[in-house]
A = this chain, B = another copy of it.
């Protein structure tokens, strides 16, 4: 079992991750990743079948910044709020200062004047690395079960 302090540190990291996505500012999101990172949002059917297509597939912090710029400046969309819930987090130390983390996630979406619904539900397959005093995501693969997306996916998961 991993060290309790490390465990708490990782839990805190994910609490911050969710707060950034749900409370903002989205501009803080790329900094939670390493410079060379892999962020993917993938329908389970592609993941299972070994098909390479992702709903979103980014390969660097720069691409994450470009996405946020796009979402904020150029991609028209209806306003909505999202709320993340994580559960069943599993921790594994793969090398010094490198940790594999998995967790179930649920994202509830609320659009103006509509009932809340499930925007995305699935599992995180992540890798965290220690970068000085802080942790960063080197890998975050969000594999979602609800392959039929309720219209569109704008903000990061």
Which residues of A are at the interface with B, using a C-beta cutoff of 8 A? 1, 4-5, 7-9, 12, 14-16, 18-19, 22-23, 44, 81, 83-90, 102, 104, 106, 108, 110, 112-118, 121-123, 145-148, 150
Provide the bound-state CA to CA distance between A44 and B81, in Å.
Answer: 10
Provide the bound-state CA to CA distance between A87 and B23, in Å.
Answer: 14
Contacts of A8 in B (CB 8 A): 1, 4, 7
Contacts of A23 in B (CB 8 A): 123
Copies of this protein, total: 3
A156 CB, nearest partner CB in chain B, Å: 15
Best-buried of A4, A7, A85, A88 by chain B (most CB within 10 Å): A88
- The 24 sampled A-B contact pairs (Cβ below 8 Å) are A1-B5, A1-B8, A4-B4, A12-B90, A14-B88, A15-B90, A16-B90, A18-B88, A19-B90, A19-B102, A22-B123, A83-B104, A85-B87, A85-B106, A86-B87, A108-B118, A108-B145, A110-B146, A110-B147, A112-B147, A113-B147, A115-B117, A115-B118, A116-B145
A8 CB, nearest partner CB in chain B, Å: 6
Contacts of A4 in B (CB 8 A): 4-5, 8
**Are B121 and A108 neighbours in the complex by a CB distance under 8 Å?**
yes
